[in-house]
Amino acid sequence: MIKYIFLCISFILFFSCKKEELPMPNNDNSVAIVETNIEGKNWVLSEGRVFVENLDNGEKRVYDYFGGSITSSFMHIFGSTSVIMDSIKQNFTTWTFNNNTFTLNGSQSWEYTTYNGSYNVIGLTGGTMRNIRPTHTSEDYITVVTHEAYGNDGTYNYKYYSELGFNRAGTSCTNCQPSIGYGWIYSGIWSPSATNEASIIGTKWIVTRYNNLLSGNVYPNDTLEFITNSKYTINGSSQKIYSISNVIGNNNKSLTLYSFSTLGGDYSGQIIGSYLDDGFISNSQFVDIFNVNNTVTIWMERIL
């Protein structure tokens, strides 16, 4: 009898004192992965990041493409490229996948193929291809990884890729961007590297003339001042983003001016390398990076 009572007491104590196993907290704010067909819908870019890994020292940093007054950026973060889909603009850039045709910004189209859940846009400038891999999808929001590439800033070697978030046209999504993975350091808004031509930093240029074939010659006399390796101003306005880099295969430079109000948009053009030293940019064609049908010939003169 005593042995029986002892066993009962032991049984009660064991189960009354057993530690309760609580579930692990879920801090992931990402959209759930579901089987959603992204085709046949118009997707509007709402947010984006670039993940940059230093292959020499192992440092891994994440930057936002957009923030504050910065609404335009460039996914090809080292050097220059003529691939128009590398230029992105928040709440403006649109992607559509439909019947093996990829359409950018509702105007330009290329063929795409699919393999193992990824989309490959083919036939871009110079025979370039862009792989697009959806990572999180829902009916109204998708996240994709694209433009996985390598680059060099003159000191270090890097591997990088872009993560873009899109809303289905006519919808919105709050706090839908996936969480940053372990080991990555958030480092603010992306700014082009110091490999951009330093010779233009601190200089001032007058836009003496431009011609878009419709309005004829226009003489704005706007002053561009290049403050840093990635920021410039127009007539002393708030700072805007620019990039300038070497063009592979010739002596030209690729100059991209975002929020270039003189021409009313984001424009990119190639200029002869000696123009920067001579102080004149003459008869150079610049193209609206979001509508390549808009081409403007521009003349600029260095005043400082």
161-210 residue pLDDT tens:
999 999 999 999 877 888 998 999 999 998 765 444 446 888 899 999 99
What distance in Å separates the CA atoms of residue 255 and residue 29, rounded to the nearest whole number? 38
- Above pLDDT 70, what percent of the chain? 82
Q: Are strands 252-260 and 291-302 parallel, antiparallel or unpaired?
A: unpaired
pLDDT at 47 over 50: yes
- Residue among 245, 254, 257, 246 nearest 205 (CA): 257
* Residue 45 Cα distances to 38, 63, 71, 96, 110, angstroms: 14, 16, 11, 11, 19
pLDDT in tens, 119-154: 999 998 767 899 999 999 899 999 999 999 988 777
Element (H, E) at 10: helix 2-17
**Which 8-state DSSP code applies to residue 235?**
T
- What is the reported pTM? 0.66
Sign of the Cα pseudo-torsion (183, 186, 191, 197, in order): negative
pLDDT in tens, 197-244: 446 888 899 999 999 888 789 999 999 999 887 889 999 999 988 888
CATH (one of 2.40.128, 3.30.780, 1.10.287, 3.30.310) for 198-302: 2.40.128
Beta strands in 177-238 (DSSP E): 185-189, 204-211, 217-218, 222-226, 231-234
pLDDT in tens, 254-271: 888 999 999 999 998 888
pLDDT at 19 over 80: no
**Which 8-state DSSP code applies to residue 70?**
B
Q: How confident is the model at residue 79 (pLDDT cuts 50, 70, 90)?
A: low
Q: How confident is the model at residue 82 (pLDDT cuts 50, 70, 90)?
A: low
Q: What DSSP letter does each residue of 212-224 carry, written as one string?
A: -SSS-EE---EEE
Instruction: Enter the tokens of residue 278.
Output: 């001579």
The alpha carbon of residue 90 and the mean position of all alpha carbons in its chain are separated, in whole angstroms, by 9
Amino acid at 128: T
pLDDT at 8 over 60: no
In the chain, which segments carry CATH 2.40.128? 198-302
